[in-house]
Amino acid sequence: MEIAKARTLSEQELLDELASARRHLYDLRFQLATRQLTDYSQISQTRKDIARLLTVQTERKLEGGAASGSSVAAGGE
C-alpha cells in the first residue's frame, strides 16, 4: 500500500487495514515455517505496509496532540 493511499483512509479503515496486514504477515510466517512460501519478498513488503500504516496513525495522533497541546501552552502563561 502506498503512503498516499494510507493517508486517505478513515480511522476505522486504517485500523482494518492494519489488522488485515498483521494477519497476512502471520499467515506468511506460517507458510514459511511449513515450507509452503515461494515468494519470500512478500514478508518484507507486508512489514513495510504495516510500518506505513503505523506511521500514518502516529502522524494523526501527533496532529491532534499538537493542536490541543498548543492551546494548553498558551493558556498556561
Let me know if residue 60 belongs to a domain.
Answer: yes
| In a domain? residue 74 | no
Per the structure block, which three cell numbers stand in for 16? Answer: 482494518
CB 53 within 8 A of CB 6: yes
3-state secondary structure of 76: helix
Identify the band that residue 75 occupies on the pLDDT scale cut at 50, 70 and 90. Answer: low
Maximum distance among all Cα pairs of the chain, rounded to whole angstroms: 63
Contacts with 67 (C-beta within 8 Å, 6 or more apart), sequence order = none
Give the confidence band of 67 by pLDDT, cuts at 50, 70, 90: confident
Residue 6 is assigned to a structural domain of this protein: no
Q: Is 38 contained in some domain? A: yes
Q: How many domains does the chain have?
A: 1
Specify if 5 maps to a domain: no
**CATH number of the domain residue 19 falls in:** 1.10.287
Residue in the block written with cell 509452503: 36
Which residues span the domain enclosing 51? 12-68
Tens of pLDDT along 17-37? 999 999 999 999 999 999 999
Per-residue model confidence (pLDDT) at position 1: 82
